[in-house]
């Protein structure tokens, strides 16, 4: 079974631009969550989607948004990028039977110049 796949692996953007990151969960997993990892703030929860609905949201500004498609694939979007948005963005998925076990992707490293 393929793991959680995140694309692209690396991304370089400039301030003010917007970016879209993609996440394909493990086949059969319907829950997808996103985390931001930075050296200063560590790992912080962004949001969670289940069956195309946002179920939980972290404490991030409205510039950060996401969505989930009917095939459980998820995207997150960051608009009007700021230097502080430079981070590793991790996606995780879980199954209905084993909800507490999250499987993480390798992440997308976003650099904002």
Q: What residues line the site for other proteins (CB under 8 A)?
A: 4, 31, 33, 35, 42-45, 48, 55-56, 58, 90, 92, 94, 99-107
- State the minimum distance, in angstroms, from the CB of residue 87 to other proteins: 14
Q: How far is the CB of 62 from other proteins (least distance, A)?
A: 19
Q: Work out how close the CB of 23 gets to other proteins at its nearest, in angstroms, rounded to a whole number.
A: 11
Of 63 and 99, CB closest to other proteins: 99
Q: Which of 48, 45, 74, 78 is nearest to 62 (CA)?
A: 78
Minimum CB distance to other proteins smaller for 63 or for 101? 101
Do residues 32 and 21 touch, judged by C-beta distance below 8 A?
Answer: no
21 contacts: CB under 8 Å, gap ≥ 6:
6, 7, 8, 11, 75, 76, 77, 78, 89, 91, 108, 110
């Amino acid at each position: 079974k393929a793991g959680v796949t995140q694309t692209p692996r690396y991304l370089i953007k400039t301030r003010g631009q917007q970016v879209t990151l993609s996440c394909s969960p493990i086949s059969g997993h319907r829950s997808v969550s996103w985390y931001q990892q930075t050296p200063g703030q560590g790992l912080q929860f962004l949001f969670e989607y289940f069956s195309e609905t946002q179920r939980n949201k972290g404490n991030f500004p409205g510039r950060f948004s996401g969505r989930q498609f009917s095939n459980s694939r998820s995207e997150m979007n960051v608009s009007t990028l700021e230097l502080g948005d430079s981070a590793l963005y991790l996606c995780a998925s879980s199954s209905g039977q084993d909800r507490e076990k999250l499987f993480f992707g390798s992440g997308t490293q976003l650099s904002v110049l």
